[in-house]
Amino acid sequence: MIVARRLLLIWLVLLTGCSIDDTFGEETNELGGTLVAASGPVTTAVDIDSGRLQGAEADAATGVRVFRGIPYAAPPVGDLRFRAPVRPARWSGVRSALDFGTACWQDFSHDSFVWSRGDFQRSEDCLYLNVWSGAQERAEKRPVMVWFHGGSHTVGYGHSKIFDGTELARQGVVLVSINYRLGPLGFLAHEALEEDGAAGNYGLMDKIEALKWVRRNILSFGGDPDNVTIFGQSAGSSSVCYLMTSPQARGLFHKAIGQSAACLLERTGDPDLNGYKRGAALVGAAGLKANVTAEALRQLDPQALLAAANSSGWQNGSRITIDGRVVPQPPLEAFQAGTHNRVPLLVGSMSDEGNQLLPLNTALTKAMLNDRLVKRFGVDAANELQKLYAKDLAESAGLAQREILIDQFMAWSMRTWARQNSNAGQPSYLYFFPHIPPAFRLYLPHATDLQLPDGPRSGGAYHSGDLAYVFGTVDLVGMDWTERDRQLSREITGYWTNFAKSGNPNGSGLPAWQQHSGNEAATMVFAENSATQDGVRTTKLDLFDQLALARRDP
């Protein structure tokens, strides 16, 4: 029954035009990892607005230092649960920044393809960030990159070993990673929690608060508060997209990178834009009355909240809501109106994002698929889609369904994001990643082995398979890396850090990357030999363009 409900939910996305983010429940609980122990000798202390910090040496050869577990907001517990974050209290003396903070409260996952996280320490007291920097003086003012981890806004944390910032710091940026509130503790919207006419999106407010911390304090680490790039993957990338539409984030970042998730699929038909209906269902599943008070919600056990989220189906809807405060309108409307935060943008996706990420409906027949496509798109479009996905359809109707859905959500939405930003006059760069990485447990560096029937590279270019390349951690996590993997990682870290420095990913020794502008489909393809191509999956994505325009016609 549970599997059937999830499969039905996925097809509701295709049939109603709602964001696929609404389907990211337990199946995409992908991030987490093993807490990395402090290493290296203690370094000179730095002063920030909350007090003095003592960090550690991360790389003696290049002078990279790391400061772990820095509080950027007060613990969101007690009366601060379900509220916007507030600045942390000052401390006296020197605070140790040798150990990472705690992961935010979330479910564990032991058998979830490459995304298994095992058991780890978790707490509501979790609003901490980490800084890697090779700058030795404040005056260096290096570009800053702020990382938002993925995990469907329900799981994960920013201090997994795969996100080690040493290599990016070696290349001249200051790297910041953060933890933010997750699941109902981070995103529950309910009328009892209203303040200033809005509720929910606390996890998104945490990201904004972290950016405010960066503006106030990053100079102490040799970073430039006026040159900040936000970047993220999956739910972290979706957050980047939403922050581009948030007035509260205006001026806090100057460039953006999104990996494998946007926020622009239409939500105008969503009957629960502010999330209050799902919030009420969660409250009922927790055994509380409809007229529950905020105080009662703040007293619930955190695990009871997670159980209610699961049993009520709360997690099957978008965690980020249109609250009228942090997110004042559906993001696509903001981009089309040109009211979004206009910054240079670099975005893209993997070629096999759907593998294991979405369940495969093995019971679906070709006739059933045709009926659903006709009802959603009409006869002509249904026929065209089945022609374009004939190879997948020949294998199974369920596979064709999944590939149609994932192309719409990933490849098409990322291209749409780049085009919308380019139309607003901002430099925009698009990539596509078909290079196949080895499959391994990404977030369990001491138990990486993941046996696939046809070998470690039989999982395709799967969702999250880009992470070790982006952070330059291919020799810190995983297994079976080749020299091409290492070379590709050097290319990608070069592109990402060049973009953070100047808004242009190009640089010495890298294949030329052309801007994606107007109807020009220039796309950097990360394959055996990286190169810009004139579009990827163009016929399929152009059809999705036509279908989206038809849905908006009166």
pLDDT in tens, 439-452: 999 999 888 999 89
Task: Clarify whether 463 is annotated catalytic.
Answer: yes
pLDDT the model gives residue 268: 64
Structural tokens at position 287: 């055994």
Say which of 30, 167, 209, 353 is annotated catalytic: 353
Average pLDDT (77-82) is: 98
pLDDT reading at 3 higher than 50: no
pLDDT reading at 408 higher than 70: yes
pLDDT the model gives residue 326: 97
pLDDT in tens, 132-146: 999 999 999 999 999
pLDDT in tens, 205-224: 999 999 999 999 999 999 99
pLDDT in tens, 520-545: 789 999 999 999 999 999 999 999 99
- Apex 374 CA angle, 370 and 380, nearest 5: 105
Q: What is the mean pLDDT of the chain?
A: 91
Q: Cβ contacts of residue 514 below 8 Å, gap of 6+?
A: 520, 522, 532
Average pLDDT (141-169) is: 97
Say which of 463, 489, 491, 517 is annotated catalytic: 463
- What residue spans define the domains of the chain? 2-552
What is the sign, positive or negative, of the torsion defined by CA atoms of 118, 123, 126, 132?
Answer: negative
Average pLDDT (120-133) is: 97
pLDDT the model gives residue 529: 96
**Is residue 415 classed as helix, strand or coil in its secondary structure?**
helix
pLDDT reading at 30 higher than 60: no
3-state helix, strand, coil in the chain (%, to 5): 40, 15, 45
Say which of 234, 239, 246, 530 is annotated catalytic: 234
Average pLDDT (467-491) is: 97
345-350/428-433 β-pairing = parallel
- C-alpha–C-alpha distance, residues 203 and 18, integer Å: 21
pTM score of the predicted model: 0.92
Question: Phi and psi at residue 54, in whole multiples of 5°?
Answer: -115, 120
Least confident of 18-27, 138-147, 159-168, 279-288: 18-27
Q: Which helix (H) or strand (E) holds 436?
A: none
pLDDT the model gives residue 11: 37
pLDDT reading at 292 higher than 80: yes
Task: Clarify whether 109 is annotated catalytic.
Answer: no
pLDDT reading at 351 higher than 50: yes
Task: Clarify whether 520 is annotated catalytic.
Answer: no
* Domain covering 2-552, topology: Rossmann fold (3.40.50)
Q: For residue 511, what are the CA distances in angstroms to 97, 130, 149, 234, 532? A: 39, 32, 28, 26, 8
**480 torsion bin: left (phi>0), alpha (psi -120 to 50), beta (else):** left
